Amino acid sequence: MTSITLPAYAKLNLTLDILRKREDGYHDLQMVMQTVSLQDDVTVTLTGGEGIACRCGEIPGDETNLAVKAARAFFAETGVVPCGLDIDIVKRIPAQAGMAGGSSDAAATLRALRRLMKPDLLGDELERIAAMVGSDVPYCVRGGTALAEGRGERLTTLRDAPKLHAVLCKPDFAISTPLLFSRVKISELWNRPDTAGMLDAIHHGDVEGVMARVKNVFETVLPKDYEEVFDIKERFLRLGAEATAMTGSGPTVFGLYRDAGAAQMAYKSLSADYAQTFLTQFV
């Protein structure tokens, strides 16, 4: 086998909390993560030549691309002799959206290289390599429902969350993650998520408990320029969502539904005004 295509799923933050600022300048986070069915398709082909070629829609396929970084890290850390690669990414997950699109592409690249070149590589080792590429990449390697801690690289697999429908709506702007972190003052954060309660609800399959605890503390430090995030949240509630929040550092907002028909109606309403609206489900 010299070529393989794998899905690269988007992620949502069911919860996101910021615990403390570390001496290295990063923050310790606590997040409950969930993959959803919106996906990129990543095809990795061994070309037999030299170098890494990457096509990724409108996103540069050069050394700044996380998929390229992931391939370089794989070769450097596994001892596999570098060879020519072609990485072709069909993009559907919006960039700079809080859904780990680039990280998921990198994770799919790592999983593809393991299957093509080093199938005996353990999952823990692949996640260690993934952590060298980006904070969300280890989670995207693992996927499913998980608690992510530290910078996001310390993972605990959870029982699968209840199967919910998720409508995703990305407004037409980006939010700088460093800007949001610069506005964080740990002692002044309020309206934090109940992470322990979310973990308990997931463990017991408590749908109401999960819905009641969806929350992202980054929403408390959003500048006024991005108040459209809250407008979209209000619209989701009017459209029957049982829970709604921004994912990651935004700006994508999601609404959760038990009923497929209600999710479809919300999708139709929001997609009339927002081109980047997606109808998905938990996977």
Active-site positions?
Answer: 11, 136
Q: Which amino acid is at 227?
A: E
How far CA 14 is from CA of 51, 80, 147, 237, 277, in Å, comes to 39, 37, 10, 16, 18
- Cβ–Cβ < 8 Å for 203, 159: yes
Contact status, residue 213 vs residue 206, Cβ threshold 8 Å: no
Report helix, strand or coil for 119.
coil
The answer to whether residues 163 and 281 touch, using CB atoms and an 8 Å cutoff, is yes
CB 132, CB 110: distance < 8 Å? no
Rounded-to-integer distance, Cα 79 and Cα 215, Å: 42
The token pair that represents 173 in the structure block: 């702007």
Instruction: Write out the two tokens for 66.
Output: 């996380």
Q: Which of 40, 114, 102 is nearest to 124 (CA)?
A: 114
